[in-house]
């Protein structure tokens, strides 16, 4: 997988020149969306809406139907996250929404739902459609469902789930020959580490002194 990713990186100039305009918008908006999220900037959500709409079209053409559903879900969750970061949580209207750790019960529920969801969606796409890589594709989809909800609620562990998603997705897109998305998710791997570190530092800086 590393060799394929390095090959995609080496061919990046040619890929960019040949890239369809929709794919180019997806690449730029996807990177910008995550960069803004690392900085806890609320503009991550309107940019994320652009990325989600573009991804619906790209994945439908590639017959990655689970990713089509995922991108549609991103549209809804970006809208929800935009609202929640502005008005949700226990705070005054002028305060920023703080990042928090995922409650234990919430983590257990998300883990259980993810396992069941991956198995069920993988079986459906494997037996009822012509989908490629149905279980791997479903894993990225279901885990992204959880991660995007955690992002909208500003739970710091969203970065750990995104890291798992990025690892799987990079391999899937390399196998499918979608080089620009493989490169994008390869970059997301590093950005997930950056996000985890940045959010943890912010949380440590805002914790009351003993």
What pLDDT digit, counting tens, does each position of 118-160 carry?
A: 999 999 989 998 888 889 988 988 998 999 999 999 999 999 9
pTM for this one?
0.81
Question: How is residue 189 written in tokens?
Answer: 């791997």
Residues 6 or more apart whose Cβ sits within 8 Å of residue 10: none
Question: If you write DSSP's letter for every residue of 116-182 in order, what string do you get?
Answer: HHHHHHHHHHHHHS--SSHHHHHHHHHHHHHHHHHHHTTBTTHHHHHHHHHHHHHHHHHHHT-HHHH
What pLDDT digit, counting tens, does each position of 83-96 carry?
A: 999 887 665 555 67
* Residue 41: CB atoms within 10 Å: 12
What pLDDT digit, counting tens, does each position of 166-180 carry?
A: 999 888 888 877 776
What does pLDDT average to over the chain? 84
Does the pLDDT of residue 12 top 80, yes or no? Answer: no
Q: Decide if 163 contacts 191 (C-beta within 8 A).
A: no
Average pLDDT of span 68-78: 86
The full length of the chain comes to: 210
Residues 6 or more apart whose Cβ sits within 8 Å of residue 33: 44, 47, 48, 51
């Amino acid at each position: 997988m590393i060799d394929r990713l390095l090959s995609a990186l080496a061919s990046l100039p040619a890929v960019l020149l040949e890239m369809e305009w929709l794919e180019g918008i997806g690449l730029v908006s996807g990177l910008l969306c995550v960069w803004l999220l690392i900085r806890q900037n609320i503009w991550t959500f309107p940019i994320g809406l652009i990325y989600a709409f573009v991804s619906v079209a790209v994945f439908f053409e590639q017959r990655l139907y689970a990713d089509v559903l995922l991108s549609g879900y991103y549209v809804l969750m970006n809208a929800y996250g935009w609202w929640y970061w502005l008005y949700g949580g226990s705070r005054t209207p002028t305060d920023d929404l703080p990042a928090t750790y995922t409650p234990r019960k919430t983590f257990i529920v998300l883990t259980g739902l993810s396992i069941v969801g991956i198995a069920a969606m993988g079986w459906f796409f494997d037996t009822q459609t012509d989908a490629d890589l149905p279980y791997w594709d479903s894993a990225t989809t279901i885990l992204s469902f959880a991660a995007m909800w955690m992002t909208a609620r500003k739970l710091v562990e969203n970065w750990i789930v995104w890291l798992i998603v990025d690892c799987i997705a990079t391999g899937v897109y390399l196998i499918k020959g979608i080089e620009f998305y493989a490169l994008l998710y390869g970059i997301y791997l590093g950005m997930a580490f950056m996000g985890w570190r940045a959010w943890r530092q912010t949380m440590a800086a805002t914790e009351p002194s003993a």
